[in-house]
């Protein structure tokens, strides 16, 4: 298809116009609103005890959810890529399931499973509080981020094949040695990419958390919940903008990492 | 970008080469993986499904057929279809410009596409509220209206179609296009007869993902949507409300209905994509 | 090859270490968006779970408490939300030391769950920490000319009232016109007729009084049924609204109770005592709530007494009212509400 200059230009204008109106202008506007009263005002909102506690809680959840997703994600990806077993297609579908489930439903299903009267609700009697407590928030985060590592690592495993692994095994390497020396280095960029996506999604999760969190500021309020609570409970719109800007900064770092990693992978 | 291509229905997955346990994880590893998936994903979903039928089939039907529930489910589905359709057009357009056009700042715009993936949904809500909410700088107060829902959903679903169409567009046979052009075919004909069929499966896949995302969306809507029953209350808001008013069975029932709609649509689109792919290779 | 694998591992380790290092301080820092002067935590920590609107009040009271000898160094973490929803969360295991809800039944639920002692009401203000009255919030200039309850149900007037199944505010707001039209509960049918009309004019039903205000400020509806303190709060924020307290309205009484599983019973008692003290009551008054201490209340002149003020006691208390009107399965108003909105 060869388009004349006029057609090219108008298509370009349409596409970029759509992006600019839908994405760029609102983003720039919130940056402007955040900093129109100077950096000091922004900083004051970001460093309140509640805000610092929220940032720490968000990071804590990431610190628990990401390693678990990495370990179990690699195991699942290996099982899917290297194993041939009945029901493999079903397992594939289960891994993709979290993409198709509304975050609110994730939260509700966790309450119905772990909350009072749920199948595993008895744990509360043993002093293990899951819902409205940190474990529930971690479970929700793991649920929504579960597919990322698997979906990034599995195709790489297919691509590299298992010749090297087999060779290592013939030479007498143990399974662990093979994994650490052969497999892990080969999947590293896919893994890192999966981790980046997991971290971004974990930091940004909101719908599932609002259902299972007690939202006590300083205790069980993540950064996203803080944004919501400042906007609704405090009527502190500026504070909500400020906290959003912090989250946006995380998002932009994620974007940069994604772009760099992609270029890197294409080079290899 | 690889995020999209590995989402369900978006790409063709390669199969493992041969059955072997070497380098794999063996039966123990498989067991661990299954246990993990069950505990995290399957058990909660099983719990919600069981709970939905606590009052029997009739109770389930009553719960999803209550006027406000029905209205929320219909509204959510219709709006998600609209959003998916707009995405098909806008996404193809954007992908086209990013692949075939050259202009300064292209890299920047290409990276910008992924922003909605990286941006927390609640931030998307705040961001849109600044522009379309009270004290809107462009004097366009859309909050608590249906157009606001559509804008919010377009924002969060933007990447899906673009990212599934882009790689296909790069690989489209340009020689065939040139041949057709030299035979006097108009651009419109070339697009309809050569480009569009090639894009078919990717478009369907991307639209399905956008639909699935839109139908369950909560965070980006919660502040700008208003949640007015019969007007702007979407299914996820209705579900949360049922939990807040302590009617978990209703919440579970509507959840199951929403999941069912989402799966049925994904299944239809997946079948259509497979058929169009077969058709493409067969012709 | 080997070093590359190490990069990944050490990267993960670094992230983990970073976060774990960061967590150390989390338990010590607590909210106060506005009361950053809060102590370092060495005086102990308390957690408060409250309904949606009293944050303005606690933002004033908590720093004052922290200046007293008992409150020195005590940090108070707070959670706000729809009264019924918050109560349900505490019932289902959200750990806390003290609760403040919109209305009594939300505390009764915790009494039944064994989390609050039966005798929680036996104190000088009968367990009530703050009060307010039901008011009508309208747009600036009162374009629909809403002065009294009859104006609210005129055709074409869109009402915002929160959802009575999650919000306490919603119940108070419905009780006010019900009390007027049923003549204090004597003519139940007239009261119900009026409430039916009112529910027919409802536009939004957000989960809490706070979210209702937010929805109204965003432009939805012509009149918002709300707490007087909430109206004052919005007005002080410079929002383009005004409010009318109808001649006949209802006294809103917000209870407070200590959770008997509190790990810090002395401090929580000290906090409650402070909330009841003249200084604490004055702070509530400054935040727009009507103090329950009559002496302190007399110091304020922005709380004019309405011509006729019904109280929940006029109707036999919350147990009776809840069972008759708001019980989700059998309550008269609950049924109308369900029919109209679900």
- Does any domain span residue C28? no
- Does any domain span residue C88? yes
- Does any domain span residue C333? yes
| pLDDT score of B2 | 39
C279 vs C301: CA distance, rounded Å: 17
Query: Which pLDDT tens digit goes with each residue over B48-101?
Result: 999 999 999 999 999 999 888 999 999 999 999 999 999 999 999 999 999 988
User: Counting Cβ atoms within 10 Å, is residue B191 exposed (0-12), middle (13-18) or buried (19+)?
Assistant: middle
Instruction: Please tell me the least confidently modeled range out of A104-118, B13-27, C316-330.
Output: B13-27
Q: Partners of C244 in the beta sheet? A: C136
Quote the tokens at residue C25: 């301080």
Instruction: Determine the length of chain B.
Output: 283
A3 CB within 8 Å of a chain B CB? yes
Shared domain for C278 and C222, answered yes or no, is no
| pLDDT score of C14 | 52
Of A29, A76, A165, the CB nearest to B36: A76
How many A/C residue pairs have CB atoms within 8 Å?
137
Q: Does the distance separating the beta carbons of B144 and C219 come in below 8 Å?
A: yes
Nearest CA in chain B to A184: B23
Q: Does the distance separating the beta carbons of B68 and C215 come in below 8 Å?
A: no
Min CA distance, B17 vs chain A (Å)?
Answer: 7
Shared domain for C247 and C322, answered yes or no, is yes
Which residues in chain C have Cβ-Cβ distances shorter than 8 Å to B226?
204, 215, 218, 220
Quote the tokens at residue A258: 């994604």
Q: What is the ipTM score, two decimals?
A: 0.89
How many domains does chain C contain in total? 2
pLDDT at B229 over 70: yes
**Do C311 and C253 meet the contact criterion of CB atoms below 8 Å apart?**
yes
Nearest CA in chain A to C57: A234
* E strand or H helix that includes residue A76: helix A49-82
Give residues 13 to 42 of A whose Cβ lies within 8 Å of B: 14-16, 18-19, 22-27, 29-30, 33
Which residues in chain B have Cβ-Cβ distances shorter than 8 Å to C204?
144, 226-229
CA torsion, ordered B196, B79, B144, C194, to nearest 10 deg:
170
Q: Kindly report the pTM of this predicted structure.
A: 0.86
The residues spanned by each domain of chain B are: 25-54, 56-282
Contacts for B57 with CB less than 8 Å, ≥ 6 apart: none
Ramachandran angles phi, psi of C76, nearest 5°:
-125, 110
**Do B221 and B125 meet the contact criterion of CB atoms below 8 Å apart?**
yes
C258 vs C273: CA distance, rounded Å: 11
B5 compared with A226, residue with greater pLDDT:
A226
Ramachandran angles phi, psi of C134, nearest 5°:
-80, 130
Shared domain for C176 and C312, answered yes or no, is yes
pLDDT at B169 over 80: yes
Shared domain for C199 and C239, answered yes or no, is yes
Of B69, B143, B231, the CB nearest to C219: B143
Contacts for C155 with CB less than 8 Å, ≥ 6 apart: none
Shared domain for C262 and C321, answered yes or no, is no
Q: Does the distance separating the beta carbons of C4 and A216 come in below 8 Å?
A: no
CA atoms within 13 A on the CB side of C81: 28
Percent of chain B with pLDDT over 70: 90
Quote the tokens at residue B59: 């109770």
**Do C199 and C205 meet the contact criterion of CB atoms below 8 Å apart?**
no
The per-residue pLDDT of chain B, averaged, comes to 85
| pLDDT score of A145 | 95
Shared domain for C88 and C150, answered yes or no, is no
Query: Which pLDDT tens digit goes with each residue over B142-160?
Result: 888 899 999 999 999 999 9
pLDDT at C68 over 60: yes
Query: Which pLDDT tens digit goes with each residue over B173-227?
Result: 788 888 888 888 888 888 888 888 888 889 999 999 999 999 999 999 998 888 8
pLDDT at B15 over 80: no
Span between the terminal Cα atoms of chain A, in Å: 32
Pairing type for strands C290-291 and C241-244 reads unpaired
Instruction: Determine the length of chain C.
Output: 342
Ramachandran angles phi, psi of C67, nearest 5°:
-90, -15
Q: Does the distance separating the beta carbons of C204 and B245 come in below 8 Å?
A: no
Nearest CA in chain B to C162: B228
Helix (H, G, I), strand (E, B) or coil at A148: helix
Label residue C176 by pLDDT band (50, 70, 90).
very high
A129 vs B235: CA distance, rounded Å: 29
Closest CA to B77 of B240, B254, B223: B254
| 8-state DSSP, B16 | P
**Do C32 and A50 meet the contact criterion of CB atoms below 8 Å apart?**
yes
Closest CA to A29 of B129, C217, B122, B224: B129
Query: From residue C215, how far is each of A99, C58, C268, C340 by CA, in Å?
Result: 31, 23, 34, 20
Q: What is the CATH number of domain B56-282?
A: 1.10.3720.10
User: C135 lies in which domain range?
Assistant: 131-252+304-341
Q: Does the distance separating the beta carbons of B40 and A142 come in below 8 Å?
A: yes
Query: Which pLDDT tens digit goes with each residue over C109-166?
Result: 999 999 999 999 999 999 999 999 999 999 999 999 999 999 999 998 999 999 898 8
The per-residue pLDDT of chain C, averaged, comes to 85
Pairing type for strands C98-100 and C75-81 reads unpaired
Q: Does the distance separating the beta carbons of B154 and A259 come in below 8 Å?
A: no
Intervals of chain A under pLDDT 70: 1, 268
Q: SS3 string of chain C?
A: CHHHHHHHHHHHHHHHHHHHHHHCCCCCCCCCCCCCCCCCCCCCEEEEEEECCCHHHHHHHHHHHHHCCCCCCCEEEEEEECHHHHHHHHHCCCCCCEEECCCHHHHHHHHHCCCECCCCCCCCCCCEEEEEEEEEEEECCCCCCCCCHHHHCCCCCCEECCCCCCCHHHHHHHHHHHHHHCCCCCCHHHHHHHHHHHHHCEEECCCCHHHHHHHHHCCCCCEEEEEHHHHHHHHHCCCCEEEECCCEEEEEEEEEEEECCCCCHHHHHHHHHHHHCHHHHHHHHHCCCEECCHHHHCCCCCCCCCCEEECHHHHCCHHHHHHHHHCCCCCHHHHHHHHHHC
Helices B56-65, B67-100: crossing angle, 10 deg rounding: 70
Q: Does the distance separating the beta carbons of C163 and B228 come in below 8 Å?
A: no
C181 vs C333: CA distance, rounded Å: 14
Closest CA to A111 of C328, C91, B61: C91
- Does any domain span residue C236? yes
- Mean pLDDT value across residues C74-97: 90
Of B67, B228, B246, the CB nearest to C88: B246
Query: From residue C227, how far is each of A30, A221, C132, C289 by CA, in Å?
Result: 32, 27, 6, 9
Contacts for B168 with CB less than 8 Å, ≥ 6 apart: B198, B199, B201, B202
Q: Does the distance separating the beta carbons of A109 and B47 come in below 8 Å?
A: yes
Beta-sheet strands, E only, within B174-255: none
Percent of chain C with pLDDT over 70: 87
- Does any domain span residue C273? yes
Shared domain for C115 and C219, answered yes or no, is no
- Does any domain span residue C135? yes
- Does any domain span residue C104? yes
Contacts for A153 with CB less than 8 Å, ≥ 6 apart: A73, A74, A77, A187, A190, A191, A194
| 8-state DSSP, A20 | I
Of B69, B228, B244, the CB nearest to C82: B244
Label residue C291 by pLDDT band (50, 70, 90).
very high
Quote the tokens at residue A110: 């966790």
Q: Does the distance separating the beta carbons of B17 and A162 come in below 8 Å?
A: yes
Nearest CA in chain B to C215: B226
B266 vs C207: CA distance, rounded Å: 32
Chains within contact range of chain B (3+ C-beta pairs < 8 Å): A, C
Min CA distance, A133 vs chain B (Å)?
Answer: 17
**Do B210 and B51 meet the contact criterion of CB atoms below 8 Å apart?**
no
A251 vs A244: CA distance, rounded Å: 10
Closest CA to C38 of C69, C76, C80: C76
Q: B189-198, C210-219, C246-255 — which one is most confidently predicted on average?
A: C246-255
Shared domain for C201 and C52, answered yes or no, is no
B181 vs B163: CA distance, rounded Å: 27
Min CA distance, B118 vs chain A (Å)?
Answer: 5
Could you tell me the CATH number of the domain that includes residue C190?
3.40.190.10
A151 CB within 8 Å of a chain B CB? yes
- Does any domain span residue C4? no
Contacts for B112 with CB less than 8 Å, ≥ 6 apart: A19, A23, A24
Q: Does the distance separating the beta carbons of C215 and B241 come in below 8 Å?
A: no
Instruction: Please tell me the least confidently modeled range out of A172-186, C8-22, C46-60.
Output: C8-22
Span between the terminal Cα atoms of chain B, in Å: 30
Please state, as a whole number, how many other Cβ atoms lie within 10 Å of the Cβ of residue C211. 26
Give residues 157 to 196 of B whose Cβ lies within 8 Å of C: none
Percent of chain B with pLDDT over 90: 47
Pairing type for strands C98-100 and C248-258 reads antiparallel
Closest CA to C78 of C9, C30, C14, C122: C30
């Amino acid at each position: 298809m060869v388009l004349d200059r006029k057609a090219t230009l108008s298509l370009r204008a349409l596409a970029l116009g759509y992006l600019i109106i839908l994405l760029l202008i609102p983003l720039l506007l919130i940056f402007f609103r955040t900093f129109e009263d100077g950096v000091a005002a922004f900083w004051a909102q970001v460093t309140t005890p509640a805000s610092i506690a929220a940032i720490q809680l968000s990071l804590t959840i990431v610190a628990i959810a990401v390693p678990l997703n990495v370990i179990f994600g690699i195991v699942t990806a290996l099982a899917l890529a290297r194993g041939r077993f009945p029901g493999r297609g079903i397992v594939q579908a289960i891994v993709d399931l979290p993409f198709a489930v509304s975050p609110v439903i994730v939260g509700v299903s966790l309450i119905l499973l772990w909350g009072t009267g749920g199948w595993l609700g008895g744990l509360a009697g043993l002093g293990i509080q899951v819902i409205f407590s940190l474990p529930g928030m971690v479970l929700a985060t793991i649920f929504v981020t579960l597919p990322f590592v698997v979906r990034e690592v599995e195709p790489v495993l297919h691509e590299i094949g298992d010749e090297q692994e087999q060779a290592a095994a013939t030479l007498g390497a143990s399974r662990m040695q093979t994994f650490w020396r052969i497999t892990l280095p080969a999947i590293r960029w896919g893994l890192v990419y999966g981790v980046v996506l997991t971290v971004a999604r974990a930091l940004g999760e909101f719908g599932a958390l609002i259902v299972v969190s007690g939202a006590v500021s300083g205790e069980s309020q993540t950064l996203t919940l803080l944004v919501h609570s400042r906007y609704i409970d405090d009527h502190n719109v500026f504070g909500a903008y400020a906290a959003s800007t912090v989250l946006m900064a995380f998002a932009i770092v994620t974007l940069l990492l994604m772009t760099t990693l992609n270029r890197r992978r294409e080079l290899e | 970008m690889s995020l999209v291509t590995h989402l369900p229905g978006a790409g063709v997955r390669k199969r493992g080469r041969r059955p072997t346990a070497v380098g794999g994880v063996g039966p123990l590893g498989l067991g661990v993986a299954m246990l993990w998936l069950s505990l995290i994903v399957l058990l909660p979903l099983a719990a919600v499904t069981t709970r939905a039928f606590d009052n029997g089939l009739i109770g389930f039907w009553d719960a999803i057929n209550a006027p406000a529930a029905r209205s929320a489910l219909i509204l959510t589905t219709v709006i998600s279809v609209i959003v998916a359709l707009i995405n098909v057009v806008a996404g193809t357009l954007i992908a086209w410009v990013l692949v075939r056009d050259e202009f300064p700042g292209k890299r920047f715009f290409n990276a910008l596409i992924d922003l909605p993936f990286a941006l927390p949904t609640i931030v998307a809500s705040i961001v849109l509220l600044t522009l379309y909410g009270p004290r809107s700088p462009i004097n366009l107060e859309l909050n608590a209206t249906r157009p606001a829902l559509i804008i919010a959903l377009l924002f969060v679903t933007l990447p899906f179609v673009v990212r599934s169409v882009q790689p296909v567009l790069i690989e489209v046979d340009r020689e065939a296009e040139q041949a057709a052009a030299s035979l006097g075919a108009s651009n419109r004909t070339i697009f309809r007869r050569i480009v569009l069929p090639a894009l078919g499966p990717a478009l369907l896949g991307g639209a399905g993902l956008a639909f699935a995302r839109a139908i369950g969306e909560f965070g980006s809507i919660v502040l700008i949507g208003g949640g007015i029953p019969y007007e702007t209350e979407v299914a996820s808001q209705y579900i949360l409300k049922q939990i807040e008013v302590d009617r978990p069975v209703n919440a579970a029932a509507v959840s199951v209905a929403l999941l069912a709609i989402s799966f049925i649509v994904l299944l239809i689109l997946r079948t259509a994509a497979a058929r169009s792919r077969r058709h493409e290779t067969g012709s | 090859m080997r070093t590359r694998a190490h990069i990944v591992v050490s990267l993960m380790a670094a992230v983990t270490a970073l976060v774990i290092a960061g967590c150390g301080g989390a338990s010590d820092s607590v909210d106060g968006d506005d009361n950053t002067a809060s102590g370092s935590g060495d005086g102990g920590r308390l957690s408060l779970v409250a309904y949606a609107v009293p944050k303005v009040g606690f933002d004033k009271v908590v720093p004052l408490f922290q200046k007293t000898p008992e409150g020195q160094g005590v940090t108070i973490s707070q959670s706000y939300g729809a009264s019924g929803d918050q109560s349900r969360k505490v019932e289902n295991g959200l750990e806390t030391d003290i609760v403040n809800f919109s209305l009594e039944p939300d505390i009764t639920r915790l009494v039944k769950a064994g989390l609050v002692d039966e005798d929680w009401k036996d104190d000088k203000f009968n367990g009530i920490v703050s009060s307010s009255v039901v008011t009508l919030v309208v747009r600036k200039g009162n374009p629909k000319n809403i002065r009294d309850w009859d104006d609210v149900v005129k055709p074409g007037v869109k009402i915002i009232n929160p959802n009575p199944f999650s919000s306490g505010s919603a119940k108070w707001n419905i009780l006010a016109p019900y009390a007027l039209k049923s003549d204090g509960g004597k003519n139940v049918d007239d009261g119900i007729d009026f409430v039916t009309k009112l529910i027919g004019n409802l536009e939004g039903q957000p989960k809490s009084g706070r979210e209702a205000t937010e929805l109204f400020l965003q432009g939805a509806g012509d009149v918002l049924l709300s707490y007087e303190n909430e109206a004052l709060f919005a007005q002080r924020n410079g929002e383009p609204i005004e409010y009318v307290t109808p001649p006949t309205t209802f006294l809103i009484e917000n209870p407070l109770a200590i959770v008997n599983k509190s790990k810090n019973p002395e401090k929580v008692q000290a906090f409650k005592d402070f909330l009841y003290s003249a200084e604490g009551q004055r702070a509530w008054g400054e935040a727009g709530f009507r103090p329950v201490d009559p002496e302190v209340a007399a110091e304020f002149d922005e709380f004019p007494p309405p011509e006729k003020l019904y109280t929940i006691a006029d109707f036999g208390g919350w147990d009776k009212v809840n069972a008759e009107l708001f019980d989700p399965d059998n309550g008269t108003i609950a049924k109308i509400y369900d029919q109209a909105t679900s």
